[in-house]
Structure 1
Amino acid sequence: MIQIGIIDDKSLNRKVIRQNLQEYSEVQIVLEAANGHDFLEQLTHLKIEDQPKLVLVDLDMPGMNGIDTIAIAAIKYPAIKFLVLTIFDDDDKIFNAIKAGASGYLLKDDAPLLLIDAIHNAYHLNGAPMSPAIARKTLQLLKSANHLEHSRLDKTSPIENLLSDREQEILKLLVEGFDYKKIASLLFISPQTVRTHISRIYEKLHINSKAQAILLAHKYKRQQ
């Protein structure tokens, strides 16, 4: 029996997930939460043997979003696996969810059978299940980063030669996980100015997402 948790701020979504999973006797829903704070609070009142072994997490939630929830809970409760279950399929959310500690990434419009297969894959096989559309995006993201590593950012054109000091500063803060508003606050500039700098960073590095920028920065750092 796989003990399952569900984190989603919409009660209707939780109900649909619960109904889909109730058809399978090998899983048991032991916890439902409306956001990350609610989830972490409920865990403190459960014995270890009563805690979920795998949790389905939505991303866009008030209070504490899914990515922050995974990042915190993965450290406090390393035995629990987390699968993202969301409507979002953009590069940044995929990358940040995996970076936070998600074991897989699924879309809410996937068939119930795909969800139960993903639960088995992650729990029994220690796999990293993804919706087909997400797997394609992830593969393309890695291919893009690999291409950039071997072309634009080779040893003759390091990041510091391509970007201004301010752009390097902003890229460093992006890598550390700060959003536009926080970067603006730290550097005493407006969020719009941050967006302008990031647009220039994307143009100079020939990329089109924050996830690619972070991957590229990490790969260059390893080359040094």
Structure 2
Amino acid sequence: MPTPMPTPMPTPIPIDLDTWPRRESFDHYRHRVPCTYAMTVELEVTAFVAALRTSTRKTYPAQIWAIANVVNRHPEFRMTLTDDGAPATWPVVHPAFTVFNPERETFAAVSAPYDADFARFHETAVEVLADAAAATEMFPQGGLPANGFDVSSIPWASFTGFTLQIDGGTNHFAPIFALGRYVERDGRTFLPFAVQIHHASADGFHTARLIGELEQLFADPSWVDA
């Protein structure tokens, strides 16, 4: 079984409420109208898929790294609360992701520390996925990091909409991502991609920017074999 992540737990950085432009928005969606929202799009991944076909690198770790790279660029997707309930951001967040055991038809949830160097992240993630492939526990590493966010893959189906109904979800600030089966259309490849986020963390502008930057990463996949 994969061992727990060796990375030390960082300390959340409190947000300066006096200078924070989204203070009023945070208070509104945190206390007056607490809500999450979801957005589902098709990302064009034609160049990304072509690059992986000629590479020894694997698709799922590459997808996870691309998401983690963009998530770590923006504080609104690294949000949490301090012990006294004040908004804060993690210095870095790590992807947690699902691994399917086809014999049992169950999933395990594991994590790999984010590394800005894709090659290093890929090496670690491939090992974690291999170790968890036959896991019989849901959390074979013993738990997931507090400074984490979730990625799930549903490669058996494409979808045009995806939402999670989370009990107490208005206290969950980390983004949640879901990936579907590739869609081929007019010689182009598309990836169903869903993101769910607390409205106190991010507005539609921020989520649209994340989606746009992710699509740019997939459009120029020179990093796949860097």
User: If the TM-score is normalised by the length of the shorter chain, which range does it land in?
Assistant: under 0.3
By relative contact order (CA 8 Å, sep 6+), the higher-ranking structure is 2
Structure (1 or 2) with the larger CA radius of gyration: 1
> What is the TM-score normalised by the length of structure 2?
0.26
> What is the TM-score normalised by the length of structure 1?
0.26
**Higher percent of residues as helix:** 1
